[in-house]
Structure 1
Amino acid sequence: MSDNGSQIDACPAQFPDLFVVGIGASAGGLNALEEFFEHLSNNSGAAFVVIQHLSPDFKSLMKELLARRTRMEIYRVVEGMELRPNSIYLIPPGKNLVLDQQKLHLIPQKERNSRELNFPIDIFFESLAQIRQEQSIGVVLSGTGSDGTKGLRTINQAGGFTLVQHPSSAQFDGMPKSAIATGLVDRILPPSELALVVDQLVRSPVFQTVNDHNAANLLTAETIQEIAAIIARHESTDFSHYKISTLTRRIHRRYLISGCENLETFISLLKTSVQERAILRHDLLISVTQFFRDRSAWDYLAEQVIPQLVAQAQPNIELRCWVTLVLQAKKPTLWQCCWMKRLQI
């Protein structure tokens, strides 16, 4: 929310198609970052934000060190700095970093003697997912602990991409292993190969036209329905009534991550691979919907309402609760159909 209470615009007017790549690294992260940027194109069109665990007592030389590996512009973030394509932004010591629209904002970290742990990677990843959604990429490199794990989960739920350094190539594998344990990581590779994946992702538009040179990668309505039919036949889940835009983004996302050269190859893979069908089905399900999202309301029920109801209830008398179900759609969604069947509507 903004200061006046209005909702933050999640699609900035300037550079609306800008991919933002958040890169989290801690102990042993320097070598991984150097390898990553050395193999990354200098004109991918994305903005890269590097979040490290830095000591406030020492000056960071990250800018000078990375400048030897890339020709992209490198900036130490100052308050309100705006993201631009083909640029790298470095978090300063003693600060947390968040993305608001297309600007970076600095937040002071807690005092060292505070009992609260600080997770700067998670903090940035969560703001990145909220603002850039499908145009967000989270990368976790070498480091100890679990910072980045929660943030990658949020990016995945928003439809973004999650990439992690292979533990065998990391100097410290704590952060990569913690992220991988979620089961939500799209690719697990050494930094040099992660760079190639990022370059492919940010260069592949979701919507293509008939005039595009690579017509084999064109997602048409017929192609989407063919894929939906494969999932319905093998996974017993019918996505044919989902919004075309939602299906297009999610299918395109999975196609890019699969490593297939074109959509025809991807469709063939779906026909033969149980694992790939299961992954796509999971990706197509809307994972951002969850129970107990309105935390304060549920806390009030748990602390104020339910204890009183239980205290006033008579022995051996049932205590019943009802949840309203509002059906407004002309065509009920998948979950509405399930509930109507369960409730015999």
Structure 2
Amino acid sequence: MVESSEEAGPRDGRPIVVALCASAANTRSLVHLLQALPPRPDTAIIVVLQHRETLDAAAFGHALAAAGHEVSVIERTMPLVPGRVYLPEPNVIVSIEGDHFQLRPAEQRFGERGTIDSFLVSLVGEMDGRTISVVLAGTGSDGTLGFKAVKEMGGIAFAEETEESRAGELAASNIPAALADAVLPIEPLAERIRASIRQLGSKTGPDAHLDEAEASTVLASIAAVLRNKTGHDFHGYKEGTFMRRIQRRMQVAQIDDNAAYVDYLRAQPGEAQELFNDLLIGVTQFFATRRSSSSSNAA
């Protein structure tokens, strides 16, 4: 059954992309999410799996079909079409280029492929922030770099709650949950994904068009709040990037109205720091850090 929506298809021709990332060694949470996410004509779901060769593809396909999903096996240069669930073949690395899938052989050893990172990083610049990325438990550190990239482009990053996250041990961790916008048990996670899809699919969502005067007013108000709360002045910050970061925080906070977000920013403890952190995200720096760390470990 297709979830009701005001949209007959993707708004402005751009699909919402939900990337569900997991290990094929344990698909219980993944299947649960897919069963809890009804097909929508404006949304494409892409399943990105570590250890894909261990998946019982027949049982997985049957479970998805019972939930009303049409499953498409990803082929090279296949266009990304909303309303479907996409699944890769074993031993390939999947990426998105210009709304089409690209595939390359997985040449690295198991555990060193960065299957999730490679896919999520490829989304940067392609989906224009209309991305919800979810990393489920059991993937190790794969997806951490991807979450950094997703947040850089304005997308949302969610993770499944684990024993480690429940213990509050994420600050020094290198797993994706340490960078997630929300870390939730599977049932609340499913509801949060549904809510985010509805918000992105709404005509009045946070990426709805603002004219130049409206945008300037919103940016000036938010820059003033940031200056008062953080001591940093973002007046003159590149407007497109500034607005994209604001819209991302609005999606995380599940707020559609710009004026309401300004009020939320003023009143909510910690939100100014969260927006400030988003404004300072740098994927290039993160790549350099990872390379430097890898070189040190090799030495």
The reply to whether TM is greater than 0.5 is: yes
CA contact (8 A) 1:140 1:148 kept: yes
State the TM-score, normalizing by the size of structure 1: 0.66
2: distance between equivalents of 1:36 and 1:135? 19
What does residue 193 of structure 2 align with?
195
CA contact (8 A) 1:167 1:177 kept: no
Aligned ranges for residues 1-345 of structure 1 at < 5 Å? 17-26=14-23, 29-43=26-40, 45-54=42-51, 56=53, 60-61=57-58, 62-69=60-67, 71-110=68-107, 114=109, 117-167=112-162, 178-181=175-178, 184-189=179-184, 190=186, 191-203=189-201, 204=205, 206-208=207-209, 220-260=215-255, 262-285=257-280, 287-288=282-283, 290=285
Change (3 A) 1:288 1:57: closer
Deviations 1:32-87 (A, max 9, x none): 22222233242261221101134537651222221212x34320112221101121
Deviations 1:221-259 (A, max 9, x none): 322211111111121111121233222221111012113
Tell me by how many angstroms 1:276 deviates.
0.5
2: distance between equivalents of 1:224 and 1:200? 25
State the TM-score, normalizing by the size of structure 2: 0.76
Deviations 1:154-198 (A, max 9, x none): 22223322111122699xxxx9982122xx211222332232243
Aligned residue for 2:236, secondary structure, equals coil
Q: Which runs of 5+ in 1 are unaligned?
A: 1-14, 211-217, 299-345
Quick one: which amino acid aligns to residue 146 of structure 2? Answer: G
Change (3 A) 1:270 1:198: closer
Q: How many residues align?
A: 267
Q: Which aligned segments of 4 or more residues in structure 1 are displaced greater than 6 angstroms?
A: none
2: distance between equivalents of 1:253 and 1:145? 26
CA contact (8 A) 2:25 2:54 kept: no
Quick one: which amino acid aligns to residue 70 of structure 2? Answer: E
Higher Rg: 1
Tell me by how many angstroms 1:277 deviates.
0.6
Aligned residue for 1:129, secondary structure, equals coil
1: distance between equivalents of 2:114 and 2:56? 20
Change (3 A) 1:136 1:247: same
What does residue 338 of structure 1 align with?
none
Deviations 1:280-313 (A, max 9, x none): 11212352453996x99x9xxxxxxxxxxxxxxx
CA contact (8 A) 1:36 1:195 kept: no
Quick one: which amino acid aligns to residue 200 of structure 1? Answer: R
1: distance between equivalents of 2:248 and 2:105? 35
1: distance between equivalents of 2:34 and 2:111? 33
Change (3 A) 1:38 1:169: farther
Q: Which runs of 5+ in 2 are unaligned?
A: 1-11, 293-299
Aligned residue for 1:81, secondary structure, equals coil
Alignment RMSD: 3.5
CA contact (8 A) 1:129 1:160 kept: no
Quick one: which amino acid aligns to residue 250 of structure 1? Answer: R
Tell me by how many angstroms 1:90 deviates.
0.5
Aligned residue for 2:53, secondary structure, equals coil
CA contact (8 A) 2:141 2:175 kept: yes
What does residue 6 of structure 2 align with?
none
CA contact (8 A) 1:76 1:92 kept: yes
Q: Alignment identity in percent?
A: 27
Aligned residue for 1:50, secondary structure, equals strand
CA contact (8 A) 2:25 2:55 kept: no
CA contact (8 A) 2:72 2:85 kept: yes
